[in-house]
Amino acid sequence: MDKLYHLNFGKSDLGDNPPKIAFLSGDPARAAQIAGTFFDKVTCLSEYRGLDSYMGKIGGVPILSTTSGMGAPSLSIMVNELIQLGVETVIRVGTSGSIQPDVKVGDVVITSGSLCVQGAAHDIAPRDYPAHADPFVSVALANSAKEQGKNYHLGITASVDTFYEGQGRVSGANPNLMRSHQGLVDEYQQLNVLNFEMEAGTLFKMASVYGFKAGCVCAIIAERVESENVVMEMKNAAVDSAISVAVGALKYL
């Protein structure tokens, strides 16, 4: 048995032409949507612990669609095991809240680099080690978005560990933020950070240290300059756009 513990599959499950590219989604439903909509001959490799993985082909190219779970610690486990299986490019397809007023719900953000405030990343590389996307993957995502006429933004993302406190939310169970977390939206806005999310910084540090390519495209589902709330009625359309941009980037890679 060559199965890796968390992925729950191994090289023997991937066939003679194993995938070198993986789409990574926090939500298992999104991983299934990517596979079900775009893959030819979908194979469900695992549904272990809700960390679902699917294999198929797009235009004859073998591809994986894998669930990372929420947050950087879970992502770090899944990515480590994907690299052990020979994956060479990982594209995160996520959701996000915007910080800049011109980044609207329904837009997509392509992350060129992350302001990485993530504990898991410190187990990969020092705090000051740069967290940047592969430039060729970022350009491929941008070309895909442009070709499809999507409203997209390319720039810096704040990658944090928590959905509430780490993103400056006071509407949850803890309205009394530490002083260091008060006013985060305003502070990051002034630094020209585009959005909040919870995984990309650690993914990018892993890519640089482990020697694989990584990119990230996120659907904007909240406008933090207006509200702390997710705009649920527009979420599905925004996610569809991010998925379409990720899949469309394959032709440029």
- Between CA 12 and CA 10 the distance in angstroms is 5
Structure confidence at residue 95 (pLDDT) = 98
Residue with tokens 């980037």: 249
Structure confidence at residue 13 (pLDDT) = 97
Q: What is the mean pLDDT of the chain?
A: 97
Active site residue 30: no
Active site residue 92: no
| Residue of 242, 239, 245 whose CA lies nearest to 143 | 245
Q: Is the pTM of this model over 0.95?
A: yes
Choosing from 30, 81, 92, 132, the catalytic residue is 81
Structure tokens at 180: 């260091």
Active site residue 169: yes
Choosing from 6, 47, 187, 228, the catalytic residue is 6
Active site residue 81: yes
Structure confidence at residue 1 (pLDDT) = 66
Domains defined along the chain, listed by start: 18-252 (3.40.50.1580)
Report pLDDT digits (tens) over 188-228.
999 999 999 999 999 999 999 999 999 999 999 999 999 99
Strand, coil or helix: 179: helix
Q: Cα Rg for the chain, rounded, in angstroms?
A: 17
Structure confidence at residue 156 (pLDDT) = 98
Read off the pLDDT of each residue in 78-101 and give the average, rounded to a whole number: 98
Q: By percentage, how much of the chain surpasses pLDDT 70?
A: 100
- Between CA 220 and CA 111 the distance in angstroms is 12
Choosing from 30, 153, 169, 181, the catalytic residue is 169
Choosing from 30, 132, 153, 224, the catalytic residue is 224
User: Residue 136 — very low, low, confident or very high, per pLDDT cuts 50/70/90?
Assistant: very high
Structure confidence at residue 246 (pLDDT) = 98
| pLDDT value at 243 more than 80 | yes
- Between CA 19 and CA 89 the distance in angstroms is 10
Q: By percentage, how much of the chain surpasses pLDDT 90?
A: 98
